[in-house]
Structure 1
Amino acid sequence: MNKAKNVTISVYSILLFSIALYTLATLIYSLIPNIPVNKLFAMIVAFTILYLYIQRITLERIIILLFCLFFSIYTTIISEYSSDNINDLLWIVTTVLIIGIASDQKFRSGLEQAIKRNKKWMKMIIIVIELILLMAVITPSSYGNDVGWGKDASYFVGFATHSHTLASACCLLIVLIMTVYKDKKISLMEYAYYILPIYSILFSGARTFLISVLILIMINVYMKKNSKLMRNMTLLVILSSFIFALFNSSMISKFEFTSNNVYAKNMLDSITNGRSEFWKYDLDLFFNSNFFIQLFGRGFEYIYNYNYLKVGIKIWAHNDIINNLISIGLIGTLGYVYIWFKYINNFFKRPRIDFSKVQFIIFMLFTLYIVAPMLLNGLYQYQHYIFSSVLLGQLISQRD
C-alpha cells in the first residue's frame, strides 16, 4: 500500500517539475532554437496527466477521454495536415485533460504533497529562471517590434519566441513563486521575486496579461495571513507602484497603437485591437454554416485561413468560445465550457469552507483570472497560463 502511494507522489512530482522546467525552457527558447526543449516538457506533462487518467478510470474520465479522442480524429480528417491544426488540437486536448482532472480530490492531494516535498528544488528552479530573465532584461536584442505594434515602440520578448508567450510564462512563474511562499506572511524577499516577471509583462505589449498580473497580485495579498490594515496598505503600495510602472513602460505604446489600429472601424474595434471586427465575421461564419458543421465544426486550421481572407491576418479568433464554435462546433464548445465550469464551480461549493468575504473575493478573482483571457485573447493556446490556473487553483483550495 505504501509503495503504491509513493509511486503516485512521484508522478505528481514529475508533473510539478515538468511544469516548472517548461517555464524555464520557454524563456530560453531562442538560445537553443534547434532543440524544442519546451515541447519535450509539455509532452511529459501531457503524458503524466494521461497516466493519471488511466491509473483510476471512472465514467467521467472515460467521457473526457472519448471527447478528446473523437475531436482529435474528426478535426484531423477534415483538416489539412498543418501546424495550425496540430498545435491547436494538442493544446485543447491537454487543456481539457488537465482541467478535467484538476478538481479531483486525489489529484489535489497528490499535487499538494509534491509541492510540500519539493519546495527547496522548486525555489532553485525559480532562482535560475529569475537569473535568465535578468540576463534578458539587460540584453539589447531581447527588445524589438517584429509584430508591428507602432513605428517607434520597442517591446520586451526576452529569449522567448513571442511577447504573449513570454507574458503567459511569466504568469506561471508568478504562481510558482506564490506556491513556494504560500505559508509565509508578506515579505520583501518574496516581492523582490515578482519584480522581473511583472517588468517582463509590462514591457511585453501583451495587454490582456495586465489583467492577469493584477489579479495575481491581489490574490497573493489576500492569501497572506496579515491584518486587514496591513493587507490594505500593501495593496495600496503595490497598485500605486504598478500604475507608475505601467505609465513608464512600453505598454503605453501598445495602447496608443491600438487606439489607431488600421483594422479598427469604430471605438470598440480600437479597444479590442480589431478583435470585435473579426469576431463579427467569425460568428457570421458559424451561423451561416449547415447544421452538421454547426454541431461539429470545421477543424482548427479553418479559422486561420478565414480570418486571413477577411482581415488580412492569419490568426485565431482570440476568444475561446468563438474559436471553438468554428473549430469543434457547438458540441465541442459546450464540452469545453462544461469542463471549465465544473472546475471553477468546485471552489464555490466546497462544504468545508467558511465562505468569508476574503474567501469570496479570492474565488471571484480566480474566476476572472480564467474568464478574462478566455474571452479577450484566447486561453488554451497558452499552456503556461493553463498550468498556472491549475497551480493557482491548487493554492487557493488549500487556504484555510
Structure 2
Amino acid sequence: MKISVNIYKLLLILILLFVPINLLKDLFPIPLTLITGGIILILMIAILLTRLKKKQFILMILPIAIFALNFAFTDNISRHVRYFLNWYALLCTLLMCSDSDILKKFCNAYYKSERSIHRLTQLVALIFVVLLIMPAAYSGGWWGLSNGFTAFTVSHAVAASACGFLVYELIYLQNHQRKLPMLEGMLYVLLSVYVVFQTGARTYVISIAAIALIYLFDIIKSRKIRISIIVIGLIFVTVIFSKSAFIEKMAITESYQTVNNVSFLNAITSGRTLIWTVDFLSYIHSGLYTLFFGKGFAFSYEINRLKYFGLDIFSHNIFLETLLSEGFIGLAILLNLMIKMIKKFKIDKISLVASMMYVPLIGFLNGLFDSQIYCYSILILGIAFYNKINICSRYN
C-alpha cells in the first residue's frame, strides 16, 4: 500500500497546530490535546506499518504486548494507558527518524507546503506574544512558584511547546539563508528563550540551547554576524533572567535544601537524585517479572507516593521510567532506537552535540514522554537534520 505524500503534509501541519492547542488546553470544552495527539500517533503508526521490516515490526509489537500484560499490575489504568501512548509516540518518532525514505517524503511535503507552514509558524509566534502579555496566562507553577507563565495549561507543557514551535523555523532557515529570514529566526530563538525562562522549567533551556546552537553554526555563516548575535543573546538573557521565574525557582531550591537538609545536588535537581535512587532500588528489588517487563506506567507514581514524601510524581528520567514501566526489554528497545537516530544524524560535531542535548540529555533529566509535543518535535528536528545534509529532493 502506497501512502500519498498528503499524509506527510497533514502530519507536519497537525504537529505545528498541536503547539497552540497545547497552550490553550484549558479553554477547550473537550480534551482537544488528547484527540490531536491521538490522531498524530495514529497517522505515524499508519506510515510506519507500510515501511517496517520484520525486526522493526517486532520492535513495535513487543512494547504493546508488555503494556497489555501490565494491566494486571497497575493501580491506575487511566495513567497506565495515557503515559504508554506518550511513550509509544516517542518510539514511533525515533523509528521515523531512522528511516531515510520517510524523512525524504516529509521534506518533499514541506517543500510543497512551505509557504503555508511558515505562515502558520508566524501565527503561532504571535499567539505566544499575545499570551505573554495576558495576566491570565500567569499562575502558580511547580515547586511553589507564585507567578510563572503557564498560558492555559501547565508550565512544562508551555516550555515543550516553545521547542516544538522553534524547530519548524530551522527547516525554513535552511532553505532561506537571507538577512530577513535570519533576523526572524533570531527573534524566534529569543522569544522561545523568554518563554522558557518565564515558565521556570529549567531543563528546557537545554533544548532551546540545542536549537540555538544549530541556528548559530549552521544557519549563520558569517563569523562577525554570529558573534554579534551571541553578544545580543547574552545581553538579552542577562536582562530577562533577573526578572524571570528562574530567580524565584533558585530561591525555592535554596530554601528546599535548608529546610530538608539535603545535598546541593539533590536540591538543584529539584529532588531528582533522591527520586532516581528510590525508584532504581525499588526496581532491582521488585522481582524477576518486573526486571524484564516492568509493572506499567503508573508504577513509578506508586513507588514515589509510598516512598518519597508521598508525592504523586513520575521518575523524571526516561531510562528509569522505561525500566519501571516496560522493564529491561522496553529499555533495550528504547536505547536501540535512540542510538540509531543519533548515529544517523551524526553529520558533524554541531549536529551530534545538538541531537545529544535535545534527546538523551533531556530524557535523562526530565523524561521526554510526559509531553507529547516534545516527542513530535524530535521528528521535526530529524527532518531538519535530513534537510541539512541535502539528501532529499525537492520533488517526487
Return the TM-score normalized by structure 1.
0.90
Offset of 1:148 from its aligned partner? 4.2
Structure 2: runs of 5 or more not aligned: 390-396
Q: Number of residues paired by the alignment? A: 383
Report percent identity of matched pairs. Answer: 23
Deviates more, 1:119-128 or 1:199-208: 119-128
Distance 1:132 1:179 in 2: 21
Match of 2:326 among 325, 328, 332: 328
Q: Is 1:72 aligned to residue 70 of structure 2?
A: no
Instruction: Kindly report which structure 2 residues correspond to 1:1-400, keeping only aligned pairs within 5 A, or say none.
Output: 7-32=3-28, 34-150=29-145, 153-159=146-152, 161-185=153-177, 187-261=182-256, 262=259, 265-310=262-307, 311-348=309-346, 359-400=348-389
2:168 and 2:261 mapped to 1: Cα distance? 37
Task: Give the deviation of 1:146 after TM superposition.
Answer: 4.7
Deviations 1:154-183 (A, max 9, x none): 100112x20000100111111112222222
**Maintained 8 Å contact 1:218/1:235:** no
Deviates more, 1:374-383 or 1:232-241: 232-241
Tell me how far 1:202 sits from its aligned partner: 0.8
226-235 or 268-277, which moves further after superposition?
226-235
The one-letter amino acid of 2:4's match is T
Q: Give the superposition deviation at 1:82.
A: 2.8
Counterpart-to-counterpart distance in 2, 1:164 and 1:68: 26
Equivalent-residue separation in structure 1 for 2:97 and 2:261 (angstroms) = 39
| Counterpart residue type for residue 305 of structure 1 | E
For residue 197 of structure 1, give the secondary structure of its aligned residue in structure 2: helix
Cα offset for 1:317?
0.4
Task: Report the residue type matching 2:27 in the other structure.
Answer: L
Which range is displaced more, 336-345 or 264-273? 264-273
Paired AA for residue 300 in structure 1: F
CA contact (8 A) 1:64 1:97 kept: no
- 8 Å CA contact 1:53–1:61 kept in 2: the answer is no
> C-alpha root-mean-square deviation of aligned residues, in Å?
1.9
Q: Provide, for residues 28-67 of structure 1, a one-character-per-residue CA deviation record: whole Å limited to 9, x for no partner.
A: 21222x2222222211211111111222341232112222
Q: 1:61 to 1:232 in 2, by over 3 A?
A: same
Kindly provide the amino acid, as one letter, of the partner of residue 54 in structure 1.
L
* C-alpha contact 1:164 1:204 (8 A) present in aligned 2: yes
Please give the alpha-carbon distance, in whole angstroms, between the structure 1 residues aligned to 2:197 and 2:349: 28
Cα separation, 1, equivalents of 2:83 and 2:60: 17
Q: Distance in 2 between matches of 1:378 and 1:293?
A: 20
Which amino acid letter does the alignment assign opposite residue 157 of structure 1? Answer: T
> Partners of 1:31 and 1:333 in 2: how far apart?
37
1:98 deviates by 2.1
CA distance in 2, matches of 1:17, 1:313: 37
Aligned residue identity for 1:316: F
Question: Aligned partners of 1:84, 1:108: CA distance in 2, in Å?
Answer: 32
Does 1 or 2 have the higher relative contact order (CA < 8 Å, sep 6+)?
2
Any idea what the Cα deviations from partners look like across 1:81-102, whole Å, max 9, x if unmatched?
A: 5322111111111111221122
Structure 1 residues 263, 49: closer, same or farther in 2, change over 3 A? farther
Letter in 1 for 2:284: F
Question: Displacement, 1:290?
Answer: 1.5
1:356 alignment partner in structure 2? none
The letter of the residue matching 1:369 is Y
Unaligned ranges ≥5, structure 1: 354-358
TM-score by length of 2: 0.91
